Amino acid sequence: MPASARLQGAGGRRTRAPIMQSYAAPARPIVAAMTAAAAAEPDRAVAFQGAPGANSHVAALEAFPDGLPLPCFAFDDAIDAVREGRADCAVIPIENSLHGRVADIHFLLPESGLVITGEHFLPIRHALIGIGPRDGVREAMSHPQALGQCRHWLKAHGIRQVPYPDTAGAAAHVAELAEPSVAALAPPGAAAIYGLDLLAVDIADADHNTTRFVVLARGGKPAAGEGPWMTTLIFEVKNVPAALYKAMGGFATNGVNMTKLESYQRGGSFAATEFYADIEGKPGDAAVDRALDELGFHSKWVRVLGTYRRARERG
């Protein structure tokens, strides 16, 4: 039976099952050990979404080499771990250079009470892992983002895509299935974690494949010391002609560089459009303060989600 059919048949109401049971069997003892270590030292715990070996796990280790990564099945679980004090912070992917938005941070963050305190960029190189051989692989399981980032490679090799909640979780499920025709598309380190073979490495449809992560914490420290700084904010402009154009004018006239502007709609409404933006600089800078004042004049509301050191130059 194809892996896709098995997944659909086992779908059920996953949210009713205990979180640990949501992971494939080979991942559970690893998740349990990592959870216990994080529980013993929550001030060092760094929550991430996915199974051990996921790209978010790799990013957490890179961003916090002395931290204790805490696997969480969903983004909401990672945020709750920080809110409840089971983790000091969370490392969440929000955008990929090939496939766009990952996490809806503008929906997740405002209601959480958390703030953005940092960012981290991770180059993405996937591997095809399984029990092989590669020529016999007919299906590749992975997170839809990873499948989208490698769709041309998979099509060229006649491998069908099978969506799964996360990359390393797919590797654990492949280890559980133990079928040569089913492999996972995951970070190469996941192969050793789950006792699988590397069937193909360095898979990507573009060399620039990179994911941006943000660090979420219960409270941010005032931006002080050396920058450069980034500030993330959300806002809703007034429902009048040219409102967005006028709101953006303050950034142009004050020389504040806006590196990202994205619209989204909340609550299924087609009338009220909100915006997510990243700008260079921080509140307290004269130019940024003037730009935010003008933005506020032309908006119903403005909310700063966090100010943090820029991890890499834009452009």
Catalytic residue numbers read: 211, 213
Coil, strand, or helix at residue 256? coil
- Long-range CB pairs of 247-252 (<8 Å, 24+ gap) are 247/294, 247/295, 247/298, 247/299, 248/295, 249/294, 250/290, 250/291, 250/292, 250/293, 250/294, 250/295, 251/279, 251/291, 251/295
Q: What angle do CA 280, 64, 129 make, to 5 degrees?
A: 105
Query: Contact, 193 vs 28, CB < 8 A?
Result: no
CA neighbor of 211 nearest in space, from 98, 104, 67, 78: 98
CA dist 237 and 53 (Å) reads: 41
Name the burial class of residue 156, with classes exposed (0-12), middle (13-18) and buried (19+) by CB atoms within 10 angstroms of its CB: exposed
- Cβ atoms within 10 A of the Cβ of 83, count? 15
Query: Contact, 129 vs 184, CB < 8 A?
Result: yes
**Matching residue, tokens 């933006």:** 277
CA dist 22 and 223 (Å) reads: 39
Query: Contact, 236 vs 273, CB < 8 A?
Result: yes
CA dist 203 and 185 (Å) reads: 9
